[in-house]
Amino acid sequence: MSVLVDLADIPARLADHDRGYLLTTKDGTVKAVSVRAVPEDGALRVDTPGRGSVANVGVNQVVTLLFPPLTNPGMSLLVDGTAVADGDDIVITPTGAVLHRPVP
């Protein structure tokens, strides 16, 4: 079951989640790193996710943030977006988001 999340509501939804995972790709290989995303002027800033993630964003700007639920059962938050490197950080402009709960 998935519930669409309005892009303007992402900061409030992030308050319901702790750390998540930044998913980037390069040459068909997915890289996942544990991150915190901080809302910033309509975007999300991920501080120092690592050189591999920053390099991947330089090749493919399409990323996903996955925030698992803090409770069981709960809903995961998935945020798709486009990303750019900003020094050692990554800034993501969300393009879509859903809350997702696996079907029991």
pLDDT at 41 (0 to 100):
93
Instruction: For the chain, give every domain's residue range.
Output: 2-100
CA atoms of 84 and 91, how far apart (whole Å): 5
Q: Which CATH number fits domain 2-100: 2.30.30.30, 2.30.110.10, 1.10.20.10, 3.40.190.10?
A: 2.30.110.10
**Structure token digits, residue 67:** 């925030």
SS3 labels along 11-63 = HHHHCCCCCEEEEEEECCEEEEEEECEEEECCEEEECCCCHHHHHHHHHCCEE
Q: What is the DSSP letter of 8?
A: G
Q: What angle do CA 103, 10, 15 make, to 5 degrees?
A: 85
Q: What is the pLDDT of residues 11-59, one digit of tens each?
A: 999 988 989 999 999 999 999 999 999 999 999 999 999 999 999 999 9
Report pTM.
0.94
Q: What Cα–Cα distance (Å) separates residue 55 from each residue in 2, 19, 50?
A: 31, 21, 9
Share of the chain above pLDDT 90, in %: 84
Specify the higher pLDDT residue, 73 or 56: 56
CA atoms of 73 and 87, how far apart (whole Å): 38
pLDDT at 104 (0 to 100):
67
